[in-house]
Structure 1
Amino acid sequence: MNNPPLVSLIIITMNHEKFIEQACLSAISQTYPHYEIILLDNASKDKTFENAERVLARFDKPYKMIRNTESFGVAKNINIAVSQASGEYVSLLSGDDWFTEDHLSEKVAYIGENQVDFILSDGYKYYQSEDKTTDIYTPKEKKQIIESLPNFFHENVSENKTANVGTFVKRELLVQHPFDENINTEDWDMNLRLTSRGYRIGFIDKKLFHYRILSTSLSRNWKVMQDSYEKVTHKYLDYIKSDRELYKKYLLKLVHFKYEILLSETDSESEKERLHKEWKKEKYRIKYKNPVLFFKLLMLK
């Protein structure tokens, strides 16, 4: 590549002292030649900043370190870091995840060869408590994502179906359309806002990241996730309601959050059993409008 575009690799981190070294090592080890690193520490109360500083000091390219004096949400932190970025493209990394060495080179090559504005990829899930690595997608899930890219907004508006680790996007888009700071699932919201405006998304069928799953991960906090889900979908509720299948998926998702929250709030096995039965009934009421069919299927279960 004669004139490789500058990429700003942004790391957002908070209280990741056990993991930030791995994230930073993956950042400074990229095979792509033309990039900068911007690390934003969100007022960590541990040694995250110091550990990151020690690793990044070995980087032979430009880097910036930002240290918040107060804690903000992820979306606001990304917006702050983007305002300090100089790259034509931005790649986002959480301080507890890490990239493969060819992460940036693969994405720069892909966006140079395809008419897209931002990119997702395949990757791995790493379960910290079990020390276990699995594929982020099943073959069926990945096939569905790739085949539905032309209709990405429609396919994802009622439920986020993609892993958004290492999102690679034109910086100008994040300047024109900054992340919504009132939403926790800021990556899903951004994907919908960009595709709803006609911006094109691409997907690289290569494993380019490791997504660390912790017992404290946001995806396990059902009340927070419900709040975020409702905030995102509220923006597109008229569109969702206009499509029978989308609306059904939306209602099922709300029921899912409702019962996951109730289950997380009880230790009683008998109560959990009762809640599972009620959950099943509500799901079938939504899925099957025909009362006779509903009760027949319920009896079979």
Structure 2
Amino acid sequence: MNNSPLVSLIIITMNHEKFIEQACQSAISQTYPNYEIILLDNASKDKTFENAEKVLSQFSQHYKMIRNTESFGVAKNINIAITQASGEYVSLLSGDDWYTENSLAEKVSYIQKNPVDFILSDGYKYYQDEDKTTDTYTPKEKKQVIESLSNFFHENVSENKTSNVGTFVKREMLVKYPFDENINTEDWDMNLRLTSKGYKIGFIDKKLFYYRILSTSLSRNWKLMKDSYEKVTHKYIDYIKADQELYKKYNLKLIHFKYEILLSETDSPTEKEKLQTEWKKEKYRIKYKHPVLFFKLLLLKK
């Protein structure tokens, strides 16, 4: 393999005028020597496109800017951008996140040295409203991700346990298996689809990205997340139902969505307390089959 294969760094953005310059600056500042940048603006109504162009015009290598006349979902935008990419590999970045300078170099080095088809990595979470940076994973969470890579599909089919910022993948795989445009959690769905087909996933234990969390982030929209969760798991529901522990986790996740939605719809402290109690009861009915143990634990939790 060529020591410096061409990488297509794809940036998908919409109404990120406050953040896109940081994303683009991180893109043009990569230490890796051979890459192009494809930026797709999803019909932004602010200065996102202009701010991005101001930064990318400083890039000495090839870059391309696409501007939608109407807005689409993230998955469709990625699929559109993939058709414009020329790289052997693709690295995906949202317009409100950013990379460390060594992100591409570390990914290329890893995929050349390991028998894997796509890669995730460690990174940081940046909470915009609080101006606070934290690790993406706790030490325990990261250990579990790394130790379960060989069994990734099974470990993640009932719940997404990874952060998918900066996913690095062979372009030919995304051409053959495009992102599902009917799903909002398109990254989790793609991880499951590829690993279910036998493709190998790797994990770089280095912090290579910053994931910006906004009050408007998808992870805060419980109804949308529930809908997406059901669409993804429906594809593998027979597999999930065939495993008692997976099916339990699946049902617990549905209950989680149910009560998060109900809690988000009320401002009454009394109603919130009532819902929390009901949530607790439903959760323990699923987790513990023995009735004596169930009621003992329920009493302890009150």
Query: 2:90 corresponds to which letter in structure 1?
Result: V
Residues 107-148 of structure 1, C-alpha deviations (whole Å, 9 max, x = no match) = 000000000000000000000001100000000000000000
Counterpart of 1:229 in structure 2 is 229
The alignment status of 1:278 with 2:261, answered yes or no, reads no
Counterpart of 1:17 in structure 2 is 17
Counterpart of 1:58 in structure 2 is 58
The alignment status of 1:80 with 2:89, answered yes or no, reads no
Q: Normalising to structure 1: TM-score of the pair?
A: 0.99
1:297: how far off? 1.1
Q: How does 1:1-301 map to 2 (within 5 A)?
A: 3-301=3-301
What's the C-alpha RMSD, in Å, of the aligned pairs?
0.8
Residues 249-301 of structure 1, C-alpha deviations (whole Å, 9 max, x = no match) = 00000000000000000000000000000000000000011112111111121
Structure 1: gaps spanning 5 or more residues: none
Query: 1:141 corresponds to which letter in structure 2?
Result: E
Q: Normalising to structure 2: TM-score of the pair?
A: 0.99
Query: 2:197 corresponds to which letter in structure 1?
Result: R
Q: Name the CA distance, whole Å, in 1 between partners of 2:161 and 2:108.
A: 24
Q: Name the CA distance, whole Å, in 2 between partners of 1:296 and 1:138.
A: 31
Q: Name the CA distance, whole Å, in 2 between partners of 1:295 and 1:143.
A: 33
Q: Name the CA distance, whole Å, in 2 between partners of 1:34 and 1:78.
A: 21
Query: 2:15 corresponds to which letter in structure 1?
Result: N
**3-state DSSP of counterpart to 1:104:** helix
Q: Name the CA distance, whole Å, in 2 between partners of 1:59 and 1:227.
A: 40
1:2: how far off? 5.9
Query: 2:259 corresponds to which letter in structure 1?
Result: Y
Q: Name the CA distance, whole Å, in 1 between partners of 2:196 and 2:2.
A: 34
1:232: how far off? 0.1
Query: 1:156 corresponds to which letter in structure 2?
Result: N
Structure 2: gaps spanning 5 or more residues: none
1:78: how far off? 0.1
Q: Name the CA distance, whole Å, in 1 between partners of 2:61 and 2:83.
A: 19
Shift in CA distance, 157/100, structure 1 to aligned 2, threshold 3 Å = same
**3-state DSSP of counterpart to 1:191:** helix
Q: Name the CA distance, whole Å, in 1 between partners of 2:28 and 2:66.
A: 17
1:19: how far off? 0.1
**3-state DSSP of counterpart to 1:180:** coil
Query: 2:286 corresponds to which letter in structure 1?
Result: I
Query: 1:114 corresponds to which letter in structure 2?
Result: N
